[in-house]
Amino acid sequence: MVSPFRFGFFTNFGADEWNGTFSNGGSPWTGEFHVEIAKALERAAFDFIFFDDNLLVPETYGNSMDAYLRLSATAPKHDPAPLASLIGASTKDIGVVITLSTLAYPPYMLARLCATLDHICRGRFGWNIVTSTEHGAAQNFGLDQLPLRVDRYEVAEEYMDLVGQLFRSWEPDAVVLDREKGIYADASKVHAINFAGKHFKSRGPLNTVPSPQGRPAYFQAGASPVGRAFAAKYADAVIVSAKGPAGMKAFRDDVRAKVAAAGRDPDSVKVFFLLAPVLGATTSEARAKHDRLRSSPFILERTLAFTSSISNIDFAQFDLDKPLPTLTTEGGSGTLEKIIQQSGGQGSDKTLRELAKIGMGNSVDLVGTPDEVADEMVAIAEHVGGDGFLFTSPSQQVSRHYITELTEGLAPALQKRGLMRSASTPGTLRHKLQA
């Protein structure tokens, strides 16, 4: 029997599925919708809910904000940090991971925010470390354009060093709470760090009490060689949209080798593969749904708009019915590769329309009843060897209906096969990842 994988759900604090057949949403801005989802996932023994984030209203696609706002693609997107607080306070077991960009937050503010959220989430908080991928985001933070990837990661390395020192600036037993002597915290156990690097300077210490995990669980999604090397050095979990079971295995083997080369135990870093299963009560119902999603002009344009934003390449300039020219990006290489190298890579005969239809979020196409999909996932798990799956909605937007398909359909089928735990793993998010 296969050993249990870890499971997460990938979403964002954007518009929910406002235009789907089984949805009645569009305005989840009080946070209650996402709290409901988190509770449903928690009931089904998911390990964490994950929020991506971007810091702009893009205008890369067609040189306009139109598609982004018309299709609710990337924008609007609200701040996931207050939402994490609400979810953490409303749940007991599920981990809460949010994306915070090293481009946007001064390190001290980020460390303080993470420590605060880890307290509110009672040790279940995770930080998805990103350096941002869009010129538009960089322009919201005082830069003319996005720095080169290699420079962003160099800054991020120093950033991690600094926030790590801030997280450790209080010794674990610095809070004494001695009523008789009238001592809250012992000043001899709280230390300035006097950090002076190439990019940052910070005196410290942090003005927050050490959080249950000491630092949040670190997630990372870099796909380039430099991104993977960064993850190998810092991450507790890596998320990726890989190409088929062979691509999944190759990615995980590569990350594990890089983790070992960085002097860490390969088992200490868990790899999560993005999957967007299309589920139905019957095989033919699932296939019909899959065909509908693949032929949706809404999803096609959303995919192109999103990929344009994250790669800084305007995909509106290309003929949908011709193969793509050779493209490279300093933005999100994983996402660009996903669309241009899906089946055959650069120079393949696939047209842009065909590539975009294959979708962004899928490491492998899973279509069928919960039992059929669970069987396929067990086979993939056995081939790849570990560690986790991160589900996302194939419509690119979340509805209660889809969450129910996952939590009341697929999760029990996976649990029956031993691929998913039937009860939440107790403890901190880092512990859940390691267990």
Ligand X SMILES: Cc1cc2nc3c(=O)[nH]c(=O)nc-3n(C[C@H](O)[C@H](O)[C@H](O)COP(=O)(O)O)c2cc1C
Q: By CB under 6 A, name the binding residues for ligand X.
A: 52-54, 99, 101, 130-133, 149, 221-224, 227, 239-241, 274, 332-335
Which residues does 120 contact at the CB level (< 8 Å), separation at least 6? 84, 85, 88, 89
Query: In 3D, which of 34, 71, 211 has the Cα closest to residue 127?
Result: 211
Is residue 388 within 8 A of residue 272, CB to CB? The reply is: yes
Q: Which residues contact 301 (CB under 8 A, 6 or more apart)?
A: 67, 71, 73
Length of the chain: 435
* Structural tokens at position 93: 């077991």
The answer to whether 29 touches 52, Cβ cutoff 8 Å, is no
Residue of this chain nearest to ligand X (CB atom): 227
The residues, any chain, with a CB within 8 Å of residue 182's CB and separated by 6 or more, are none
Question: Alpha-carbon distance 317 to 302, whole Å?
Answer: 15
In the complex, minimum distance from the CB of residue 246 to ligand X, in angstroms, rounded to a whole number: 18
- Report in angstroms the alpha-carbon separations of 409 from 91, 283, 373, 392: 22, 14, 10, 15
How far is the C-alpha of 228 from the C-alpha of 171, rounded, in Å?
Answer: 31
DSSP 8-state class, residue 209? P
Which helix (H) or strand (E) segment holds residue 393: the answer is none
Q: Which of 188, 326 has the CB closer to ligand X? A: 326
Shortest Cβ 418–ligand X spacing (Å): 26
Single-letter amino acid, residue 287: R
Distance CA 240, CA 228 (A): 10
CB of 399 to ligand X, least distance (A): 20
Give, in degrees to the nearest 5, the angle at Cα 227 between 235 and 82: 55
Nearer of residues 148 and 260 to ligand X, judged by Cβ: 148
Between 128 and 369, CB nearer to ligand X: 128
- Least Cβ distance, residue 334 to ligand X (angstroms): 4
The helix (H) or strand (E) run that includes residue 22 is none
- Least CB distance from residue 131 to ligand X, whole Å? 5
| Shortest Å distance, C-beta 272 to ligand X | 9
Least Å from the CB of residue 70 to ligand X: 21
Nearest to 60 by CA among 285, 362, 256, 331: 331
The two most distant CA atoms of the chain are separated, in Å, by: 78
Shortest Å distance, C-beta 50 to ligand X: 9
Shortest distance, CB of residue 106 to ligand X, whole angstroms? 17
